[in-house]
Amino acid sequence: MAINFFTEEGIQYGEPYLLTYQGKTFLSFRETENNTHRLRYTILQEDGWASPVTIATGNNWFVNWADYPQLVALPKGNMLSFYLEKSGPSTFSYDIMVTTSTEGMNWDEAKILHDDAKKVEHGFVSLQPYDENVFIAWLDGRNTAEETHHGHTQVHGEHGPMSLRGAITDIKGNKLHEWELDQRVCDCCQTTSAITDNGPIVVYRGRSITEIRNINIIRLVNGQWTKPKPIYDDNWMIKGCPVNGPRAAATGNHLAIAWFTEAQGKAEVKVIFSEDGGATFGHPILINEGHTIGRVDIAMLDTDMAVVTWMEGPLILARKVKKDHSLGPVITVAKSSDNRSSGFPQLTVNNGHLILAWTDSNEAYPQIKTAILKDF
């Protein structure tokens, strides 16, 4: 069932992001009008989406179909969000700007998350509430460039690798802890994170010296990060970034991960489960039946079952998957577009209902569409 989403003529909408926290479903999104960008959010009510609240406004943002702003809700009404702002003339020179609110209406002046001060790429962020704080993971390009003797940042053709970093911040976005988690990762695939009973986990696309780009996991256990390891050895060798990151969801130590691979030339969406917070995994489960372009999302329905979404051409599809490898029927959620401008469909679950959001780029101006599936 479609949920009406407010639109105004002449405004471009995009980059939706969904989350559910303490029974409330939040949707953040980007508006663009006359080269001015606005990051806004709304809350789902019984009669549809509430009037949106503006988080931040700017005209120097980095707007990208795959690297999108997000929002996290916290105890006592606190909230944290981020957007990406250009830091220099290079296309991929941008910073992660973090802003916070104590009640969701008034937002503090944004500040830069990272402290390297290099005019390089910082993005592909994932956020999770972590007790009363926030766990943040992101891709960081500080090692891809070097400082010249004039103090400028210079990126070379043979530059250093992209790295993965993580941090814990307080409700004001102040970093309490920060780590470099992996020194060599895929340059532009989204990160994903979850909080298990054992602690935070980060799942991302790695990058070996030989250009094998498996999906890796790294876990914070008893205050120490484990070494990165593949969740499964796809052995996908690709010299460029596929711009197709994984998604993870957890209930306690029950963890489900969805990802896209094209190893041996076969485009596949897979799901894998763990019962110990990501220490070990079962065998992967093939999800797609047709030719897929990936763009996955996943949510846990209970400790033994998840729902996964993905795209096959312009179609947004969904199906249930269980740990015992049983699969529900493939459901067509909507028809969008396989253009990059259609972005990555978003999924969340609230009270057993599936809520989805995506960008419809077939209109004169891109619009956001939303739907709820109650009898899935």
Compute and round to an integer the Cα radius of gyration of the chain.
19
Q: Chunk the chain into consecutive blocks of 10 residues (it has 376) and report each block's average pLDDT, rounded to whole numbers.
A: 81 96 98 96 95 98 97 97 96 97 97 97 98 98 68 54 98 98 98 98 98 98 97 96 98 99 98 99 98 98 98 97 98 89 94 95 86 88
Domains of the chain: 18-310 (2.120.10.10)
pLDDT at 157: 45
pLDDT at 146: 60
- State pTM to two decimals: 0.95
